[in-house]
Amino acid sequence: MAKNIKHKVHFDINKALKRIDDLDIEFGVFGDAGNYPDGTLIADVAKYVEFGTKFQNAQPFIRFVLRENRNKYQKLYQKLFRKVLLGQISKDSAIRQIADELILDMKRKVPVDSGTLRDAIDAKVKS
Protein backbone atom coordinates (compact mmCIF):
# COMPACT_ATOMS: atom_id res chain seq x y z
CA MET A 1 0.00 0.00 0.00
CA ALA A 2 1.39 3.40 -1.04
CA LYS A 3 1.82 6.10 1.56
CA ASN A 4 1.16 9.73 0.96
CA ILE A 5 4.18 11.76 1.95
CA LYS A 6 3.57 15.34 2.92
CA HIS A 7 6.28 17.94 3.16
CA LYS A 8 5.85 20.85 5.46
CA VAL A 9 7.19 24.09 4.09
CA HIS A 10 7.80 26.90 6.52
CA PHE A 11 7.74 30.31 4.90
CA ASP A 12 8.20 33.37 7.08
CA ILE A 13 6.71 36.17 4.99
CA ASN A 14 7.93 38.89 7.36
CA LYS A 15 11.51 37.67 7.10
CA ALA A 16 11.20 37.44 3.32
CA LEU A 17 9.77 40.95 3.00
CA LYS A 18 12.61 42.40 5.06
CA ARG A 19 14.95 41.07 2.38
CA ILE A 20 13.43 43.38 -0.22
CA ASP A 21 12.61 46.38 1.95
CA ASP A 22 14.32 49.68 1.17
CA LEU A 23 15.06 49.13 -2.51
CA ASP A 24 17.07 52.18 -3.45
CA ILE A 25 18.89 52.72 -6.73
CA GLU A 26 20.24 56.06 -7.89
CA PHE A 27 21.27 56.19 -11.52
CA GLY A 28 22.43 58.62 -14.13
CA VAL A 29 25.57 60.74 -14.33
CA PHE A 30 26.81 61.81 -10.91
CA GLY A 31 28.65 64.98 -9.97
CA ASP A 32 31.82 63.00 -9.28
CA ALA A 33 31.87 61.52 -12.80
CA GLY A 34 34.74 63.76 -13.84
CA ASN A 35 35.40 66.37 -16.48
CA TYR A 36 35.89 66.66 -20.20
CA PRO A 37 39.40 67.71 -21.28
CA ASP A 38 38.27 71.36 -21.42
CA GLY A 39 37.19 71.21 -17.76
CA THR A 40 33.43 70.96 -18.34
CA LEU A 41 31.75 68.67 -15.82
CA ILE A 42 30.38 65.51 -17.41
CA ALA A 43 27.34 65.78 -15.11
CA ASP A 44 26.61 69.26 -16.52
CA VAL A 45 26.72 67.95 -20.09
CA ALA A 46 24.37 65.11 -19.08
CA LYS A 47 21.94 67.68 -17.66
CA TYR A 48 22.11 69.78 -20.84
CA VAL A 49 21.52 66.74 -23.04
CA GLU A 50 18.68 65.39 -20.88
CA PHE A 51 16.80 68.68 -20.44
CA GLY A 52 18.12 70.86 -23.26
CA THR A 53 19.26 74.47 -23.22
CA LYS A 54 18.10 77.58 -25.01
CA PHE A 55 20.54 76.58 -27.79
CA GLN A 56 19.89 72.83 -27.90
CA ASN A 57 16.75 70.70 -27.76
CA ALA A 58 16.46 68.09 -25.04
CA GLN A 59 17.57 64.59 -25.99
CA PRO A 60 16.39 62.67 -22.93
CA PHE A 61 18.15 59.38 -22.42
CA ILE A 62 17.32 58.81 -18.75
CA ARG A 63 13.62 59.68 -18.73
CA PHE A 64 13.12 58.01 -22.11
CA VAL A 65 14.62 54.73 -20.94
CA LEU A 66 12.49 54.68 -17.80
CA ARG A 67 9.31 55.50 -19.69
CA GLU A 68 9.89 53.17 -22.63
CA ASN A 69 11.07 50.20 -20.57
CA ARG A 70 8.69 50.41 -17.62
CA ASN A 71 7.13 46.98 -18.24
CA LYS A 72 10.52 45.39 -18.78
CA TYR A 73 11.79 46.68 -15.42
CA GLN A 74 8.60 45.65 -13.63
CA LYS A 75 8.92 42.11 -14.97
CA LEU A 76 12.61 41.97 -14.09
CA TYR A 77 11.83 43.25 -10.58
CA GLN A 78 9.13 40.60 -10.09
CA LYS A 79 11.37 37.82 -11.39
CA LEU A 80 14.36 38.77 -9.29
CA PHE A 81 12.50 39.45 -6.07
CA ARG A 82 10.66 36.16 -6.36
CA LYS A 83 14.14 34.64 -6.24
CA VAL A 84 15.00 36.81 -3.23
CA LEU A 85 11.88 35.66 -1.41
CA LEU A 86 12.79 32.05 -2.14
CA GLY A 87 16.31 32.63 -0.88
CA GLN A 88 17.88 31.85 -4.26
CA ILE A 89 19.70 35.19 -4.56
CA SER A 90 20.44 38.07 -2.21
CA LYS A 91 18.60 41.38 -2.25
CA ASP A 92 21.87 43.12 -3.14
CA SER A 93 22.34 40.83 -6.14
CA ALA A 94 18.80 41.52 -7.36
CA ILE A 95 19.21 45.28 -6.99
CA ARG A 96 22.57 45.20 -8.76
CA GLN A 97 21.06 43.26 -11.69
CA ILE A 98 18.28 45.83 -12.04
CA ALA A 99 20.82 48.67 -11.86
CA ASP A 100 23.02 47.01 -14.49
CA GLU A 101 20.04 46.68 -16.84
CA LEU A 102 19.16 50.37 -16.37
CA ILE A 103 22.75 51.43 -17.06
CA LEU A 104 22.97 49.31 -20.20
CA ASP A 105 19.72 50.71 -21.59
CA MET A 106 20.75 54.30 -20.86
CA LYS A 107 24.12 53.79 -22.51
CA ARG A 108 22.35 52.51 -25.62
CA LYS A 109 20.10 55.57 -25.74
CA VAL A 110 22.56 58.37 -24.93
CA PRO A 111 23.24 60.54 -27.98
CA VAL A 112 26.57 59.89 -29.65
CA ASP A 113 29.51 61.67 -28.10
CA SER A 114 33.16 60.85 -27.65
CA GLY A 115 32.10 58.10 -25.27
CA THR A 116 32.83 60.22 -22.22
CA LEU A 117 29.17 60.81 -21.36
CA ARG A 118 28.22 57.21 -22.11
CA ASP A 119 31.03 55.88 -19.93
CA ALA A 120 29.98 58.15 -17.05
CA ILE A 121 26.48 56.64 -16.73
CA ASP A 122 26.39 54.71 -13.49
CA ALA A 123 24.19 53.48 -10.68
CA LYS A 124 24.62 53.60 -6.95
CA VAL A 125 22.86 50.93 -4.96
CA LYS A 126 21.91 51.67 -1.36
CA SER A 127 21.07 48.70 0.77
List Cα–Cα distances, 30 to 64, 79, 119, in angstroms: 18, 29, 12
- Using a 10 angstrom Cβ sphere, with 0-12 exposed, 13-18 middle and 19 or more buried, the burial of residue 67 is exposed
pLDDT on residue 8: 45
Position 72 in a domain: yes
The domain containing residue 114 runs over which residues? 13-126
Report the domain count for the chain: 1
pLDDT band at 55 (very low <50, low <70, confident <90, very high): very high
Give the predicted TM-score (pTM) of the model.
0.74
pLDDT on residue 31: 92
Position 42 in a domain: yes
**In the predicted model, what is the mean pLDDT of residues 12-25?**
56
Position 105 in a domain: yes
Task: Work out the mean pLDDT of the chain and round it to a whole number.
Answer: 83
Position 6 in a domain: no
pLDDT on residue 124: 87
pLDDT band at 79 (very low <50, low <70, confident <90, very high): very high
Residue 121 neighbours by CB under 8 Å, 6+ apart: 27, 28, 29, 46, 103, 106, 107, 110
